[in-house]
Chains A and B, each alone.
Chain A
């Protein structure tokens, strides 16, 4: 397929796609396009993701023809510049044990031991490409190829908030209890979504994430400290 491409998502939205792989270059096109198209059209709603932007419009105030035209015009202005610094958030994770429901499956699928899965997953610094699926759920780039595992064919009815999962070349953290099809390898006690915080989400697109393996004892301590408002998450600045 040739990119960029434009697709209908129903009669009041378009998907504008810039590629079909996870890459910082494609993602930069996504973010630049999103910024420009929002400047052109005040009433549209956008959801940027890895490779595309969902552009929803209000069909009572603009027609699909006008939005389509605006999209094609904006596409001619998309340039690229990649930023390589941001915040790094250190997120404690209890891998395997009672929370990592699928860590054995991920290990077997890739001919690894569970310890190797943990090492490979926590030795990488991940880039936050997008938030989606549920409030504050980060989609991360940088997962080691040795951990790629397909989603479950039939999604689970409930996955607990904090669960860390893998779906093909993606890894992420469930931010609220929800159904889902990712392979679960561990859990963080730190909430990613809190309605009384401003902003209500811990992680933002453009941040970096470092997972830190913790023991069951440390998990319990962090949970207790969170309850007493004594836990402070480690956030530093980061340059690639």
Chain B
């Protein structure tokens, strides 16, 4: 294959991710996949890829990539200084690439993770039904690791040119360093004291430096339990908030373990996963309880906007 994408500099933490591998979680194999799934889907929609196609998830400092063929790409998610050769380019739009072009994604200045999609997708094999990289397990994506200097990625044959579209504002999640995340109460909420629940819903929590694709560890006022936090290990979902005996919440993300043994206070609703995914260490969070009806409505609104956007391309 001659459609090469050469890695001139890899960025801080760049991995191949798609929507994850969720069929083997009963064997303890984590879901992985993009942390910000909505941004990955948008990146694919913009250039006519299937929504689940694998992209490069780039974190905090982006890569420099040289293309050896004509194609179209798109970049979504966190804002960064984006350049094609020396020309500034835009986030959230399709970008035409000519053979020899050098793309550079600089330091993220709003949010934490950007997604780079190439027309037709990257030539990456499926491992256990997904192209996603699982770093701790050292498999998937590019040999289970992050991008490094000198790597050569292959691009599949580009799609036919698609209509230029703009992402409607309601579908974008502007980055804020303080967010309110909406939650539903979790299965072990009764293991926390009334004071503990009040603390959790009223105090501000800060994303600690000890955060990665597995989860965010939060610092803040300790949440009081009325018994030990330990439970018999049980299944976790993206956005599950566990609180160990030290009283400090942990929010589970894409590379989370499939099961966990700490009491689950709450779960972040799906419509807020994209907000959660872009938080940087040092950013802060307030939690707000809503009902399952409201959560479902918010999710359905987001999905119908995504469906409308896809249909505009046809």
Interface presence of A130 (CB below 8 A): yes
Does A142 lie at the interface of the complex (its beta carbon under 8 Å from any beta carbon of B)? no
Asked if A54 contacts B232 (CB within 8 A), the reply is no
State which of A52, A136, A167 has its C-beta within 8 Å of the C-beta of B28.
A136
- A10 CA / B290 CA spacing, docked (Å): 11
**In the complex, are the beta carbons of A10 and B259 less than 8 A apart?**
no
Q: Does A170 contact B (CB under 8 A)?
A: yes
The smallest beta-carbon distance between B188 and chain A, in angstroms, is: 9
Pick from B28, B235, B257 the residue with the most CB of A within 10 Å. Answer: B28
Contact across chains for B127 and A195 when beta carbons are under 8 A apart:
yes
CB–CB B237/A9 < 8 A: yes
User: Which of A13, A60, A167 is close to B230, meaning CB atoms less than 8 Å apart?
Assistant: A167
Query: Would you call A213 an interface residue if the criterion is a C-beta within 8 Å of the partner chain's C-beta atoms?
Result: no
Chain B, interface size category, equals: 35 or more
Residue in B128, B239, B296 whose CB lies within 8 Å of A200: B128
CA distance A157 to B296 in the complex (A): 36
Q: Nearest Cβ distance between residue B301 and chain A, in whole angstroms?
A: 12
**B127 & A137 in contact (Cβ 8 Å cutoff):** no
B299 on interface, CB distance cutoff 8 Å: yes
Q: Report B39 CB to chain A, min CB distance, Å.
A: 18
Q: How far is the CA of A74 from the CA of B71 in the complex (A)?
A: 51
Given A52-B235, A133-B233, A167-B230, are A60 and B28 neighbors across the interface (CB < 8 Å)?
no
Known contacts A52-B235, A56-B237, A133-B260: A199-B185 contact under CB 8 Å: no
Contact B233 A132 (CB under 8 A): yes
Tell whether, in the assembled complex, residue A46 and residue B230 are in contact, meaning their CB atoms are under 8 Å apart. Answer: no
Q: Could you tell me if B233 and A178 are in contact, using CB atoms closer than 8 angstroms?
A: no
Known contacts: A10-B184, A45-B22. The answer to whether A135 contacts B232 by CB under 8 A is no
CA–CA, A187 to B236, complex, Å? Answer: 26
Alpha-carbon separation in the docked complex, A56 to B232 (Å): 19
Contact of A52 among B234, B238, B261 (CB under 8 A): B234
Bound-complex Cα distance A13 to B244 (A): 22
Q: Taking the nearest CB of chain B, how far is it from the CB of A74, in angstroms?
A: 17
Q: Does the CB pair A134–B25 fall under 8 Å?
A: no
B292: min CB distance to chain A, Å: 6
Query: Taking the complex as formed, is B167 at the interface, i.e. its CB lies under 8 A from any CB of chain A?
Result: no
**Scoring A residues 204 to 229 as 1 if CB is less than 8 Å from chain B, else 0, what string do you get?**
01000000000000000000000000
CB distance from B263 to the nearest CB of A (A): 12
A49 touches B233 (CB 8 A): yes
**Min CB gap B40→A, angstroms:** 16
Q: Is A168 an interface residue (CB 8 A)?
A: yes
Chain B residues closer than 8 Å to A179, beta-carbon distance = 214
Would B235 and A54 count as touching, CB distance under 8 A? yes
B174 contacts the other chain (Cβ, under 8 Å)?
A: no
Within 8 A of B (CB), among A175-194: 175-179, 181, 193
Closest B residue to A194 using CB positions: B139
B28 touches A132 (CB 8 A): yes
Residue from A10, A47, A54 with most neighbouring chain B CB atoms (10 Å) = A10
A10 touches B244 (CB 8 A): no
Least distance between B44 CB and chain A CB atoms (Å): 16
Q: How many A-B residue pairs have CB under 8 A?
A: 160
Q: In the complex, what residue of chain A is closest to B238 when comparing beta carbons?
A: A10
Residue in chain B with minimal CB distance to A179: B214
Contacts A9-B187, A49-B233, A131-B26; A64 near B244 (Cβ below 8 A): no
Determine the distance from Cα of A131 to Cα of B27 in the docked complex, in whole angstroms: 5
Query: Cβ of A199: which chain B residues have Cβ within 8 Å of it?
Result: 27
When chains A and B are docked, how far (Å) is the Cα of A12 from the Cα of B230? 24
Q: Fill in one digit per residue for B210-235: 1 if any A CB lies within 8 Å of its CB, else 0.
A: 10001000000000000010101111
Pair B235/A132 contact, Cβ less than 8 Å: yes
Contact between chains at B136 and A51 (CB < 8 Å): no
Residue B270 at the A interface, CB < 8 A?
A: yes
Complex: A53 Cα to B228 Cα, angstroms: 22
CB distance from A139 to the nearest CB of B (A): 6
Cβ–Cβ contact B268 & A10, under 8 A: yes
Which residues of A are found within 8 Å of B45, using beta-carbon distances? none
Q: B259 is contacted by which of A11, A20, A130 (Cβ under 8 Å)?
A: A130
A-B pairs with lowest CB-CB distance, top 10: A54-B235, A132-B259, A10-B267, A47-B235, A7-B187, A11-B295, A131-B28, A133-B257, A50-B232, A195-B139
A-B contact pairs, 21 of them (CB 8 A): A8-B267, A10-B238, A11-B295, A11-B299, A13-B267, A15-B234, A47-B258, A59-B299, A133-B257, A133-B258, A133-B259, A134-B257, A135-B27, A136-B29, A153-B244, A154-B246, A155-B244, A168-B230, A170-B261, A176-B137, A195-B139
* Residue positions of A touching B, CB distance < 8 A: 7-13, 15, 17, 20-22, 45-54, 56, 59-60, 63-64, 130-137, 139, 150-151, 153-155, 157, 167-168, 170, 175-179, 181, 193, 195, 199-201, 205
